[in-house]
Amino acid sequence: MKKKILITGGSGFIGTNFINFISKKNINIINIDKISKISTADKFKKIYYKKNYSLIKNNLGNPIKIFNILTRFKPDIIINFAAESHVDRSINDPVYFIKNNINASTNLFYSYSKYYKLKKIKLFHISTDEVYGSIEKGDFKENDAYEPSSPYSASKGSIDLIATSFNKTFETNIKILNLTNNYGPYQFPEKFIPNLIFHFLNNKKAPIYGKGKNIREWMFVEDSCNAIWKTVTSKKKFEKINIGSGIRNSNLEIAKMVFNIMKSKNLTNLNSNNFLKMVKDRPGHDKRYALNSNFFNKIIKYKIKKNLYDGLKETIFWYIENSEWHSNVNKSYNFKRLGLID
Ligand SMILES: NC(=O)c1ccc[n+]([C@@H]2O[C@H](COP(=O)([O-])OP(=O)(O)OC[C@H]3O[C@@H](n4cnc5c(N)ncnc54)[C@H](O)[C@@H]3O)[C@@H](O)[C@H]2O)c1
């Protein structure tokens, strides 16, 4: 019998890449996504066995519906990607973020806890390094305390706590995967790297928050998909696992790399001395994220394949070659600055 996998938020950036990636395997995939303006329509997905895939357009906030989907589809694995994910938007509308993210995952966990009585499957919940907050030196381990700085990361941190509470109270088997910053194809242009690409392509100086010294750990999304797949199919025991690349760069370094690649390929007319615009910093902007992925490296043994230069180059060319996708998503985005408090 073919394995069945239920993905939530499978029309977002990582979810779309993940579904494309696993569609090559002989498994049935069902995707529950509310389809928001940042979501990728199915016609843009590159799904290998189309008949093995279906989308249910639904908000996870409805527990009865989710339980019915679970009992009808009978998944063998659940992976929860669904969340509102842009920090700046969470500053503009914190109440919406907290409500959406916490309701969606809690309702999913609750439906899963009932389904778990019928079938003992695992639910993998995708979390972020942002839950730990900022770290000047060193890196965060799985059992370090959570000190989130934005409404987005606080909502994600809360969900992680809810997940572990479900494992205790309902004796479920939810596993938390804390990922670092991803980049690559299908990322909505309001996020840092596609935002740079679109500014440079349009010969406009790209905005950099503050002094551009904030450091993030970067992982090419295809590596994340591989790492997630290896983790969810592993027989190793864990409740929580950090999945990072160790590739840590400041926003300024990333912007320079993206610009230099584009300039060397004649993709921008901007001047090499004048391609950035320093703008007011994000409120509560974390200085540095760094994950300790020793546990992942020890038990999963997946080696990150893509270095930053190759990953950025591939990403830039993906955006250039997929103009139909971006003219479609850009209809709902005007590149206006978000996340400032007046
Ligand atoms: N992108 C990153 O760098 C990164 C890093 C670490 C962790 N994460 C986490 O990984 C997950 C996926 O991130 P992403 O960048 O693909 O996000 P995204 O914003 O691109 O996509 C999220 C998807 O979830 C859907 N969704 C949101 N709320 C929903 C609800 N109530 N019901 C049904 N669907 C809903 C959206 O419609 C969207 O299609 C998120 O949980 C995010 O917190 C992302």
Domains of the chain, first to last = 3-183+219-243 (3.40.50.720)
Residue of the nearest CA to atom 1 in ligand 1?
182
Ligand 1 centroid to residue 172 C-alpha, Å: 23
Q: What span, in angstroms and rounded, lies between the C-alpha atoms of 115 and 74?
A: 9
Percent of residues in the chain assigned helix, strand, coil, to nearest 5: 45, 20, 40
- State the DSSP H helix or E strand holding residue 229, giving kind and residue range, or none if neither: helix 221-232
**Cβ-based neighbours of 16, under 8 Å, separated by 6 or more:** 10, 40, 44, 45, 186
- Summarised one tens digit per residue, pLDDT across range 208-224 is 999 999 999 999 999 99
Residue among 33, 42, 84, 129 flagged as catalytic: 129
Q: Given the CA of residue 156, which atom of ligand 1 is nearest to it?
A: 43
Burial class from Cβ neighbours inside 10 Å (0-12, 13-18, 19+) for residue 312 reads buried
The CA-based dihedral angle spanning residues 211, 212, 216, 218, taken in that order and rounded to the nearest 10 degrees:
-170
Residue of the nearest CA to atom 21 in ligand 1?
12
210, 286 contact by CB (below 8 A): no
Each residue's pLDDT, cut to its tens digit, for the chain (342 residues) gives 789 999 999 999 999 999 999 999 989 999 999 999 999 999 999 999 999 999 999 999 987 899 999 999 999 999 999 999 999 999 999 999 999 999 999 999 999 999 999 999 999 999 999 999 999 999 999 999 999 999 999 999 999 999 999 999 999 999 999 999 999 999 999 999 999 999 999 999 999 999 999 999 999 999 999 999 999 999 999 999 999 999 999 999 999 999 999 999 999 999 999 999 999 999 999 999 999 999 999 999 899 999 999 999 999 999 999 999 988 888 888 899 999 998
Active site (annotated) includes residue 152? yes
Stated pTM of the model: 0.98
Within 10 A of 93 (CB to CB), how many other CB atoms are there? 15
**Cβ-based neighbours of 229, under 8 Å, separated by 6 or more:** 18, 21, 22
Closest to 247 in 3D by CA, of 317, 183, 178, 168: 183
Closest to 79 in 3D by CA, of 163, 197, 139, 170: 163
What residues are in contact with ligand 1 under a 6 Å CB criterion? 9, 11-15, 33-36, 38-39, 59-61, 81-85, 100, 104, 126, 128, 156, 179, 181-182, 188
